[in-house]
Amino acid sequence: MSANIRKVWVEVVCVLLCSSLSGVCSAPLCMNGQNGCHILSLSDLFDRVIQHSARMHGISNDLHSEFEQYFLPSKNQIGRVSRNCHTSTILTPNGKENAQRMARQELTEVILKLLLAWRDPLWHFHQSMAHHPDFNKFSSNKALEMSDMAHELRKGVEKVAEKMQMLGIISNSVSSLASPEAPLPANGHKWRLMKDYDLLYCFRRDSNKVQNYLKILKCRIVPEHGC
Amino acid sequence: MELFLQTNSQVSFSFSSHESCSAVKRKGSGTSLEPHFTECISRNQETFRCWWNPGDFHNLSSPGALRVFYLKKDSPTSEWKECPEYIHSNRECFFDVNHTSIWIPYCMQLRSQNNITYFNEDDCFTVENIVHPDPPVSLNWTLLNISPSGLTYDVMVNWEPPPSADVGTGWMRLVYEIQYREKNTTGSWESLETQPHTQQTVYGLHIGKEYEVHIRCRMQAFTKFGEFSDSIYVLVTEVPNKESTFPLLLVFVFGVVGILVLIMLIIVSQQHRIMMILLPPIPAPKIKGIDPELLKKGKLVELNFILSGGGMGGLPTYAPDFYQDEPWVEFIEVDAEDADAGEREDNQASDTQRLLGVHQPIGHHMNIGCANTIGFPDDDSGRASCYDPDLPEQDALLLMTTLLPGQPEDGDSSFDIVERATAPERGDRPLDQTQTGASQTWVNTDFYAQVSNVMPSGGVVLSPGQHLRIQESGLVTEEETHKKGKENKGGEETEDKNPKELQFQLLLVDPEGSGYTSDSSNRQINTPPSSPVPGEGYQTIHPQLVETKPAATAEGNQSPYILPDSPQCPFFAPVADYTVVQEMDSEHSLLLNPPPPRHSPPPSLTQQHPLKALPSMPVGYITPDLLGNLTP
Q: What domain range includes position B114? A: 36-129
Chain A residues 72-131 with CB within 8 Å of chain B: 72, 74-78, 80-84, 92, 94-97, 100
Please give the sequence-ordered ranges of beta strands (E in DSSP) within B115-268, or none if there are none.
117-126, 137-146, 152-160, 174-182, 190-191, 199-206, 210-219, 232-235
The enclosing domain of B49 has a CATH number of 2.60.40.10
Cβ–Cβ contact B316 with A under 8 A: no
pLDDT in tens, B332-375: 555 554 444 444 544 555 566 656 655 444 444 444 444 444 44
The per-residue pLDDT string of chain A (227 residues; one tens digit each, 9 = 90 and over) reads 667 787 777 666 656 665 555 544 455 555 555 566 677 788 888 999 999 999 999 999 998 888 887 766 667 777 666 677 888 888 899 889 889 899 888 899 999 999 999 998 898 888 888 877 766 777 788 889 999 999 999 999 998 998 888 888 887 766 545 444 444 444 456 666 567 778 888 999 999 999 999 999 998 888 877 77
pLDDT digits (tens, 9 = 90+) for B544-572: 444 444 444 444 444 444 444 444 444 44
pLDDT classification of B122: cutoffs 50, 70, 90:
confident
Sign of CA pseudo-dihedral A69, A72, A78, A81: negative
In contact, B27 and A72? CB cutoff 8 Å = no
Query: What is the enclosing helix (H) or strand (E) of A105?
Result: helix A104-117
Residue B14 falls within a domain, yes or no? no
B3 touches chain A (CB under 8 A): yes
pLDDT surpasses 90 at B608: no
Out of B129, B152, B175, a domain closes at B129
Q: Which residues of B touch A96 (CB under 8 A)?
A: 45-46, 102, 166, 169, 171
Q: Which residues of A touch B26 (CB under 8 A)?
A: none
B166 and A96 in contact by Cβ < 8 A? Answer: yes
Handedness of CA B377, B381, B384, B385 (dihedral sign): positive
> What is the least distance, in Å, from the CA of B261 to any CA of chain A?
58
B197 in any annotated domain: yes
Same domain, B115 and B80: yes
Chain B residues in contact with A65 (beta carbon < 8 A)? 223
Buried b (16+ CB within 10 A) or exposed e, B308-321: bbbeeebbebbebe
Whether the Cβ atoms of residue B103 and residue B128 lie closer than 8 Å to each other: yes
**Is B195 an interface residue toward A (CB < 8 Å)?**
no
Structural domain includes residue B306 = no
In sequence order, the β-bridge partners of residue B496 are none
B50 inside domain? yes
pLDDT exceeds cutoff 60 at B540: no
Structural domain ending residue among the three candidates B99, B129, B159: B129
pLDDT for A155 equals 92
Residue B175 lies in a domain: yes
> Pseudo-torsion of CA A84, A87, A88, A91, nearest 10°?
-170
Check whether residue B117 and residue B198 sit in a common domain: no
Same domain, B111 and B150: no
CB A53 within 8 Å of CB B170: no
Per-residue pLDDT at B256 exceeds 90: yes
Do B192 and B114 belong together in one domain?
no
**A187 close contact with B: CB closer than 8 A:** no
Per CATH, which fold does A58-221 belong to? Answer: Growth Hormone; Chain: A; (1.20.1250)
Inter-CA distances, A56 with A23, A160, A211, B262, Å: 32, 18, 9, 73
Q: Say whether pLDDT at B432 is over 70.
A: no
Give percent above pLDDT 90 in chain B. 19
Per-residue confidence at B286, pLDDT binned at 50, 70, 90? Answer: low
Amino acid at A78: I
CB contact (8 A) between residue A198 and residue B8: no
Chain B residues touching residue A149 (CB < 8 angstroms): none
Q: Of the candidates B203, B236, B269, which is a domain's last residue?
A: B236
In this complex, is the C-beta atom of A184 within 8 Å of any C-beta atom belonging to chain B? no
Q: Which of A138-152, B71-85, B462-476 shows the lowest per-residue confidence on average (mean pLDDT)? A: B462-476
CA nearest to B306, candidates B499, B506, B471, B504: B499
Percent of chain B at pLDDT > 70 equals 42
Domain count, chain B: 2
